[in-house]
Structure 1
C-alpha cells in the first residue's frame, strides 16, 4: 500500500494566516438545510437565584435602548462588479488597525486565470480595488495570498509566473520581486522561519530547487536542487547557530516517474545546511529518509531500516534528535507491529504526542506521550479515534486552559464518545453534562463534535478557545451515551471544561471578541441568514440583531487574530446574483463603557478538579496554582484591545495527581490506578542511549513531564545504570564504541587473550541472543498508511457510527485547472485546521532505569 507520515505542523507557512471562502456552485435549493432553526434563549438560574430571563430583559432595557429604537450598527459593502467565486482574505495589520487585503480569483475554461485585489483600512467597511498597484498581475488562487506570520503588514501576492508582489506597509505600496528564475514558478507556500526572524524565507520552485532569502525577497540564492522538502531549524534545536540552519530532504529520487515508485520506494538524504557556510554545502545527517519534521527542540525522521529496501512496505524506523541531528535515538513504543499507522500530532511543548493505530490500519488506536527526549513513550489514551481517511482528527488542545485537551474515543460497540483531559493527557474522562440535562440513557455525558463529525455530514463547527479569554470554550454537541447525527446545540464552559451548559439551540458559527468580553453567534441551520446573536456575559444572555433586510448566503464570521478586537465582520454572498458582501459591526458602539477594576474578579483555574481535597491543593495542576483576574459575569463593559489578564502563580506540594502511568502501564478511562498493559509481554527493555544504558524499572507511575511540584509524595522508581552491558551493542540508537587493538610479544599473554575472547564470545552471544529475542518481541516498527478518502475505503468498524452521508468538497489547484504539470514532489497531509499544542517537560531518565 502507499504509505505516508502525517506529521505535526512543523513549518510556518504564509498561507496558514489566510482565510478562504468559496461561492457554492450548487442551486439555492441545494444550499438550504432541512434542519429548522430553533435557536431560542435558554433559561437557567444563576447561583444567586435571579431569574435569567429577568436578567436578560434588564440588560436590554438598560444598555440596548438605542438598538431597540432602530439604531443601525452594521456597515455593508457589496463587491458590485466582482464575479470571481474564490475569495482569500488576510489581515494586513495588527494592534487593531483594521487593514485587510482580499484576493478574488477564478480559472475559466481551463485556459486562463482572472483575479482582483482589494484593500480596506477600516475593518472592511470600505474597499479600494488596487490591481493597478500590482500592474494588473493575475494572482494565484492556490496560495496566491500569503502573510508574514511575524509582521502582519508584510503581505505577498504570488502570480502564475516567477513574480511576487510584496508590501511591507499593509498594501499601501507594493514592490515587484523576482523570487525564482524566469523558467521556474513558486510551487509551494513560502516557508517562513518558525522563530521571529521576519525576513528569512525559503522558496521551493516547480523544478524542486530550494532558494533562501534573508532580506524579504530582495535578494535570494540557491541552496540545493532535487529538494523533496525543507524546514527551517529552530532556536531550540540549534541554539549555537540561531536562525541560520535549514534542514533539507533531497535526492535524485525526486525526479523518478511515478510508475517506478512501486518497484523501489523513493528515499532521500536528510541534509543540514548552515547558511553561513559555502553555498550548496551541507552535512548529511541520515540516509534512506522517507519524511521528516521539526518542532521546538524535536527533529524527527522516518527512515527505511534496510539499506536497499525492496518496496514501499519495507520496514521503517522513527528516529528522534533533540540536538539538531548530532545524535539520534530510535523511538521506543510498546505493542507496535508492522501494519500500524502512526501520526506525530505535536512536538511544540517539550514532548511528542503520537497516535499509533491498532493492527490492520484501522483508523483507531492508542495515543502516547513521550518524555522530554522523545525516545520513550507512555500510554495516554486507548481506542483513540483517528480515521484512516479524510485526514481528520478530533484531538484538540484547549488554548484557554492550561493542560486541557479534547479527543474522541471508540467504544466497544463501535460508537464514539468524547473524553477530556485536564492534566496534559495523564488522565482522560467523559465530559460531564449540564446539571439540567434531560438525557435518560444509562450513561449520559456531553458528546462534542469536531472535524470527524463535520467530515461525515454533521452541521457543526470545531471547538473554539482563544488564549485571551481564560477558561472559555465553545463547542457543538449533545448529551447522550455517544455521538450521533441529530442537529447539535452550542454548549459553553467558562471554567475550562469542568462544568458546561447549553447556551444556544441548534448549530451556530461563533466568534469571540474583546478577549472574551463578548461572543457573536450566527445560526447555520439554514445557509440563508439575516440575524446575529451576541452575549456580553459569557453566554448567559443572548441578544439578537438583524444586520440585513435581505437574507444572504453565509460563509463565515471573522475577527482580528487574537480575538481582542471589538469588530466583527460577517462574510456572505447575495442569493440572487451571487455578489460578495461583507457586514462590519463595531461592538464598541454597543458596549461603550471601558471596564474598571471593580468589574473584575479573581478565578482559580482547575479548582474543580480537586475541590474535595484540602485547600492546599485546590487548583494545583502540574505543581502550580494559577489565580487569574478576569471579567465579572455581571459586567457590561469592554476590556479594550491591549487588555492583559493578570495571573498569580503558587508552587504546590507533590501528590498522587502529579504522577501519570509509566512506560508499559496505562490508566483505564474513569480509573485512578495505573495498570500493566496486557499487550506488552516483556518484563523490561534495555535501551542504549547516547553511550550508556539504563534499565526501565517502574512502580507504574512517573512524574508528569513539566510538573514543578516540590516535596510531598514520591512515586518515582530507582535508576539502575547498565553502561557495561551497552558496550558492543553498536548502532542500536546511534551509540558506537571504537576499540583500538593493543599488540604484545608474550605467547602467554596471547593465550590468555584467546581464552578471554572465547569466554567473552560465549557470554556476549548468550547476552545478545537474549537481547535479539527481546527486541524481536518489542521491536518498534513504523508503518505508514495513506489516509483514504473514498467511500469504498471506509473502515467498517465505525463507518456508520455517525452518518452514511459524507459531505466532502475537494478544491482543485491553479495548476490542475490550468492544465499545468510539475515534476514529482513530496505531498503532505499535515493538519492545519487547528494547531495542537501539548505540554510535558520531563526527562527520559525518569523512565530509563
Structure 2
C-alpha cells in the first residue's frame, strides 16, 4: 500500500492540519481529527515503519503541554492510538529493521528509551547516550561518556547490547565516532597525542578489532564510509590541502558539502534497478567550489560524467531509470516548472505543472524508483498568510508504450570495449546487463527486473594489492620491495596474532572472486603471540606498529597506541567523521 502523510501549518488559524493520501498525493484527506488536532513535531514528528509494515508514529509538539503524546498506527494512518511518553524525545523514534514493534529513542536528557510493544510501554535502558544505531541481529550500539558530556570528542565509550538494553558491554573507549556498514563496525579512535585519530574495524560486531590500513587524520580532516557490503568497503580519507594548482577535475558534492552549508540541496542519487545511472552535484576546477554547483549525470557508474543541468536542482529517478525529473533549487523565487528527461539526462524537457507559481520546498517519489509519479511540495503567499501546496505529476501518459525486447541493449559494467573478452573485470568478475536504449521512449513498468549475467574472471595482477613491505612501482602494476626492509623478516599483527610473512609481494584483494590465472605465492606463519587491538588495552609493541606503518606508507603513526571507539551528536563542521 502506498500511503503518505503531510502536516500543514496555517498561520492565520495557528493550527496544524494532517493530511493522508493513497494516490501519490493526487488527492488528500484531512485526518486531523484522528489526532485530536494535536500539534506534530516539525523536525521529527512523523516516523514511518520499515518496509511495508503499515506502522506510523506521530510525535506531538512539546508546546502542547507538559507531556509528550505519540499517535500510533499500524494501518498506514487510517486510525491511531494515543500514548503518553514518560520523557521528551530529542530525536525521531527509530524502528528495529528486523522487528517494527521494537523502538528506540533518546530524550532531551540524553537518556535512551526502548519499547518492545510499538510504543505502548517504555523503559529507560541507558543514560547519557550520544549516538545510537541498530546493528545486525537486533544489536544496539551506542556511545556514551562516563563524565556525562557528549561534547568531549575522543573520550567516548562504545557499548553494545544483545538483549534490548537489559545488559551492555563496553567494546571500546577513547572513541571519536563510529559507523556501521555491511558486516563491519568502524571506529574512529583518538591516538595518544590527542591530535590525530585512526580507523579500527571489527568483523565480529565489536568483540575484536584490527587497525585499518589507512592514514591517520587530524582535527581538520575526516573519514567517510562511501559504500560497504559483506566483503568490501569503500572509504574516503580527507587530505589537507587537496588542491591541484593547474589540474582541472570534477568535484562531486556529497554529505560533507551539505554539512558545510554549501548550496547543495540533495546528495548523489543512484538506484539498484537503474543500472549505471548516477545523478550528482559537482563543480569543475582545481578544488571544490563554494559557488552554486551544477547537476552532472553518469551513465557508466561514475567513470565518465557530463553536465546535465545548470545550477542546483532537486532530482529523482523514476521508472527504473527510464525517466529523470528535476526541479530548480531557488528558495527565493517561486517556480512553476518541472524538468524531465527520457534519455538519461542528455536532453531535458520542461512541463508547466501550475499556472500559479509556488515556493518549492521538496520533491518526493515512491521508494524503489519504479513509480511514474512525483510530488512537489511548497507554499504560496497571499497578503494575509502562507499556505502549503502539494502538486503530483503523473508521467504515465508520457511513456505510453510498453518497452519491448528490442528497446534494450547489452551493457558491460567497468568496460570501455564490450567486444574485448578481458575487459570489464572488477574484483575478479564482470557483470553484463540489459539496459534501456537511450533513444527508447517507453515504459519499463513496475514489474521490470534488471537482467544481469555475472562471469568469473581469471586472476591477473590487478586482482592483487601490494603486500606488507612492498609498493607499486611508478606507473606499474608490479609490486617491489621497500629498500629499507630488504633482508628483514616481516612480522606484523594480523587478526589478533603476530605473524611472520613470506611473500612474493602480493596479496589478493579482499572480496575478489577471480579464479585460476596468476596466483602469486604467499604464506603466513603464526608466531603464537597475541597482539590483538581490542580498543580496551594496549598490547601492540612499538616496533610492530612501526613495521606495520612503514610497510604501508602511513605517516604520523608514531603516536599510535591501541585504540578504542565512538561518536556524539552530528556537528556541521569538518571535524566530524561521516561514518554512517
Fold conserved (TM > 0.5)?
yes
- SS of equivalent residue, structure 2 residue 33: helix
1:705 counterpart (510, 515, 521): 510
Q: Which residue of 2 aligns with 1:15?
A: none
Residues 1:700 and 1:475: Cα distance change in structure 2 (over 3 Å): farther
Can you list the C-alpha shifts for 1:614-649, whole angstroms capped at 9, x where unaligned? 832222222222121222223232111231111111
TM-score scaled by length of structure 2: 0.79
> Which digits, 9 at most, give the CA deviation of each residue in 1:4-33, with x for residues without a partner?
xxxxxxxxxxxxxxxxxxxxxxxxxxxxxx
SS of alignment partner, residue 205 of structure 2 = coil
Deviation at 1:581, TM superposition (A): 1.8
Given that residues 196 and 219 in structure 2 are in contact (C-alpha distance below 8 angstroms), is that contact kept between their aligned partners in structure 1? no
Structure 2 gap segments, 5+ residues each:
550-555
2:21 equivalent in structure 1: 120
* 2:459 is aligned with 1:657: no
Secondary structure of 2:273's counterpart equals coil
Instruction: Give the number of the structure whose residues are more often strand, by fraction.
Output: 2
Q: Counterpart of 1:828?
A: 570
Which residue, 719, 727, 733 being the options, matches 2:523? 719
Equivalent residue number for residue 155 of structure 1: 56
Give the alignment partner of residue 202 of structure 2, picking from 321, 325, 332.
321
CA distance in 1, matches of 2:283, 2:130: 44
Distance between the aligned counterparts of 2:264 and 2:176, measured in 1? 37
Q: Residue 568 of structure 1 aligns to a residue in which SS?
A: strand
User: What is the CA-CA distance between 1:305 and the residue it aligns to?
Assistant: 7.3
Which residue is 1:212 aligned to? 114
Distance 1:107 1:773, change over 3 A: farther
Alignment partner of 1:628 out of 404, 409, 433: 433
Q: CA deviation at 1:157?
A: 0.6
Instruction: Give the direction of change, closer, same or farther, for the CA distance of 1:411–1:599 in structure 2 (3 Å limit).
Output: same
For residue 462 of structure 1, report the CA deviation from its aligned partner: 4.0
- 1:351-370 equivalence runs, <5 A: 351-356=232-237, 364-365=239-240
Matched, 1:186 2:186: no
CA distance in 1, matches of 2:542, 2:273: 57
- Higher deviation after alignment, 682-691 or 583-592: 682-691
Correspondence for 1:411 among 243, 247, 253: 243
CA distance in 1, matches of 2:178, 2:302: 35
What aligned pairs does 1:192-341 form with structure 2 within 5 A after superposition? Answer: 192-193=95-96, 195-235=97-137, 243=138, 245-250=139-144, 252-254=146-148, 267-268=156-157, 270-275=159-164, 280-286=166-172, 292-301=178-187, 313=194, 319-326=200-207, 328-333=208-213, 336=216, 341=221
Could you say if the C-alpha distance between residues 620 and 588 of structure 1 is closer, same or farther in structure 2, counting changes exceeding 3 Å?
A: same
> What secondary structure does 2:327 align onto?
strand
Deviation of 1:340 (Å) = 7.5
For 2:510 and 2:58, the matched residues in 1 are separated by 43
Q: Which runs of 5+ in 1 are unaligned?
A: 1-92, 236-242, 307-311, 358-363, 366-382, 384-409, 416-442, 738-766, 785-824, 839-849
- Rounded to whole Å, the distance in 2 between the matches of 1:157 and 1:229 is 22
1:337 and 1:205 mapped to 2: Cα distance?
32
The offset of 1:586, in angstroms, is 0.8
Aligned position for 1:542: 348
**Offset at residue 587 of structure 1 (A):** 0.9
- Partners of 1:654 and 1:714 within 8 A in 2: yes
Does the C-alpha gap of structure 1 residues 554 and 188 become closer, same or farther in structure 2, counting only changes over 3 Å?
A: closer
SS in 2 for 1:102: strand
Give the distance between the partners of 2:8 and 2:340, measured in 1 at CA. Answer: 30
What SS does structure 1 have at the residue aligned with 2:345? coil
State how far apart, in whole Å, the 1-side matches of 2:410 and 2:116 are: 46
2:433 match: secondary structure: strand
CA gap 1:118/1:292 in 2 versus in 1, 3 angstroms:
same
Equivalences for residues 2-41 of structure 1 within 5 A:
none
In structure 2, what is the Cα distance between the partners aligned to 1:459 and 1:733? 37
The structure that is helix-richer by fraction is 1
Q: CA separation of 1:653/1:769 partners in 2, compared to 1, >3 Å: closer, same or farther? A: closer
Answer yes or no: is the 8 Å Cα contact 2:8–2:388 preserved in 1: no
1:180-204 CA-partner distances (Å, limit 9, x unpaired): 42xx2222222322x4322222232
C-alpha deviation, 1:714, in angstroms = 2.7
SS in 1 for 2:228: coil
Equivalent in the alignment of 2:73: 167
Output the TM-score relative to the length of structure 1: 0.56
User: Is 1:781 aligned to 2:523, yes or no?
Assistant: no
The CA deviation at 1:536 is 1.9
Deviation at 1:133, TM superposition (A): 0.3
Q: What is the aligned partner in structure 2 of residue 74 from structure 1?
A: none
CA apart distance, 1:553: 2.2
RMSD between superposed Cα atoms in Å: 4.5
SS state at 2:462 partner: helix
Kindly indicate whether the alpha-carbon contact (under 8 Å) linking 2:268 and 2:280 is maintained by their aligned counterparts in 1: yes
Q: 1:251 to 1:672 in 2, by over 3 A?
A: same
* Cα pair 2:227 2:233 within 8 Å, conserved: yes
My pick for the range that moved more, 117-126 or 340-349, is 340-349
CA distance in 2, matches of 1:552, 1:679: 67
Deviation, 1:579, is 2.4
Find 1:130's aligned residue among 31, 34, 49: 31
Distance across 1 between alignment mates of 2:341 and 2:323: 5
CA distance in 2, matches of 1:218, 1:257: 29
Residue of structure 2 equivalent to 1:647: 452
For the residue of structure 2 that corresponds to 1:345, the secondary structure is strand
Residue aligning to 1:103 = 7
642-651 or 216-225, larger mean C-alpha shift: 216-225
Q: Distance in 2 between matches of 1:319 and 1:478?
A: 32
Whether the aligned pair in 1 keeps the contact of 2:465 and 2:509 (CA below 8 Å) is: yes
Residue 570, structure 1, aligned to residue 376, structure 2 = yes
The answer to whether the aligner puts 1:145 opposite 2:46 as a matched pair is yes
| Residue correspondences, number | 556
